[in-house]
Amino acid sequence: MKSYLVFLILFIFVVINFSACNNPKNNSEYNTSTQKTKFYIDSTAYKNYGYKFQKTRISGHIDNHKEEYIVFINNFISDTVYLNALSNFKTTVNLPYPCYLRLHDGKNNIKIFVVQGKNLKITYNANNVFNSIRFDGESAVPNMYIRDKYLLMLDHAVPPSHLYSMPVKEFRQLTDSFYIVDKMFLEGFLKDNPDIPQIFKNTELASITYDRAAKLIEYLNTTNTGYSAEGTKYLNFLNKLQIENESLLDVYEYRLFIDELTNYYAGKQIKGKNYSHQKITLIKMQTTLKTFNNQAIINYALYSVLKTHVKYYGYYNTERLFKIFEDNCTNQNYRKKLLNPYYEYTGLSQAKAPDIVFSDISENMLSLNNFKGSYIYIDVWATWCLPCVKEIPYLEKLKTEYKNKNIEFISISVDKKRDDWIKFIEQKKLTGNQFFAEKADKFLESFKIKSIPQFIIIDTKGYIINLNASRPSEFNHKWFDSLPNKVEV
């Protein structure tokens, strides 16, 4: 099977390359259709056709599963299912129409498709999911396609470093050949299984179509082609796509396409500029409002851009970004997911610092109360975090320069393994207040820390002054200069 697929891919690639060389008019677009590909995936339509909730049983067995439970989830279901002593599970969910679910087992995230009223049995090895997974029952057939589609994707996977280093013509030919293979694979499956629900057919076709579109845009975002005349011609394929289709927002590849398109249009303003992360995110959010007209698409794009920023850069200097989001996003679920943690974070400012516990290298337990009476400058870091490590020499310099001021510099590691932290401390011969967070997740959540390094300043009474203080490498020393001297005892 694998050798056949490789041969098919190579055959299509050669055919496309030959036809392109002999017909220059086709170089910019290999799909000769002049019609836009249209999709409409509206699960609520099933209710209008008289579909009723039906009990649907999902059962199975998982080898090498480390957790006590698994979770089935989508936009309207969240079902936690516990495994028995033999690693078997079963649950019954009420479904109004055929739909996709995600199975989370703590290690893997598996997409499945279930038809209401039709049972599904799943068995797999958690250490090798797609080479071991098997499906039985009345909903088995579409899930076999999902599995085989993933294996096909692995067959023609190309490392991004190689894929996006290709010349534009070769990249386009290879991407289009993969698209043709995937589409032929889907069409063959649907021909053999004509009774598959329409929502499955439409979703899978949209997945293939927008996966190709996302890759084509990502190429522009990672090369110098994007903003040239050649890049403008390259974008002609967008004329054959529905850019804004809110019924596709449940399709991962479509969301990825919207993300890449946002990055592309924002990149015109960002390219060659030395902007801060906050400025770049601001431009992306403003681009979203200018580019899209559909409110559901605007909601998603704003949410995606801001969520990504918070994930990698935290809440520092994000007031304007959250104001734009709050003023323009109408999706209550997106608002809840982003605004609630943000309000909790802003509420910490000027509040009493959480009473966290940490240990020194000798395993003595301490808390922030041990430093009460002094200002505290906290460095939240980890040995695996390169930006954190780069700040260490600057922090050491601050310690020396302000050793007579009433301030304690403490470094708290959030490494998962204590031994990694100890080894690093000993190798680098770090001294002073070096501590290990015993419950790192709880510590990070207490201070609403989304990324590291993060630096926090606490006053002499234990109240937070600044949750996102400047890094040692960029600190305004006037603040340190203004601190009182230590009181000699």
330-355 per-position pLDDT tens digit: 999 999 989 988 887 777 766 788 88
Beta strand segments in 292-439, E: 357-359, 365-367, 375-381, 407-413, 433-437
pLDDT digits (tens, 9 = 90+) for 5-25: 444 444 444 444 434 443 333
- pLDDT in the model for residue 291: 94
pLDDT at 218 over 70: yes
27-41, 145-159, 424-438: lowest mean pLDDT where? 27-41
* Tokens standing for residue 244: 């804004």
Q: Domains for the chain: give ranges and CATH numbers.
A: 1-30+156-268 (no CATH), 44-139 (2.60.40), 273-348 (no CATH), 357-481 (3.40.30.10)
pLDDT at 29 over 60: no
Residue 148 DSSP SS3: helix
> How many CB atoms lie under 10 A from the CB of residue 149?
17
Q: Give CA angle at 342 (379, 392), nearest 5°.
A: 15
pLDDT digits (tens, 9 = 90+) for 362-420: 999 999 999 989 999 999 999 999 889 999 999 999 999 999 999 999 999 999 999 99
Q: What is the arithmetic mean of pLDDT over 166-171?
A: 86
Report residue 226's pLDDT band, with 50, 70 and 90 as the boundaries. low
> How many CB atoms lie under 10 A from the CB of residue 33?
8
Please give the mean pLDDT across all residues of the chain: 84
Report residue 477's pLDDT band, with 50, 70 and 90 as the boundaries. confident
Report residue 231's pLDDT band, with 50, 70 and 90 as the boundaries. low
Q: What is the arithmetic mean of pLDDT over 237-252?
A: 90
> How many CB atoms lie under 10 A from the CB of residue 215?
22
Query: How far, in Å, CA of 48 to CA of 18, rounded?
Result: 49
Q: What is the arithmetic mean of pLDDT over 448-452?
A: 87
Q: What is the pTM of this model?
A: 0.71
- pLDDT in the model for residue 488: 65
pLDDT digits (tens, 9 = 90+) for 274-327: 899 999 999 999 999 999 999 999 999 999 999 999 888 888 789 999 999 999
- pLDDT in the model for residue 85: 92
Report residue 128's pLDDT band, with 50, 70 and 90 as the boundaries. very high
- Higher pLDDT pick, 280 / 467: 280
Q: What are the beta bridge partners of residue 377?
A: 409, 457
377 close to 455: Cβ distance less than 8 angstroms: yes
- Higher pLDDT pick, 87 / 486: 87
pLDDT at 98 over 60: yes
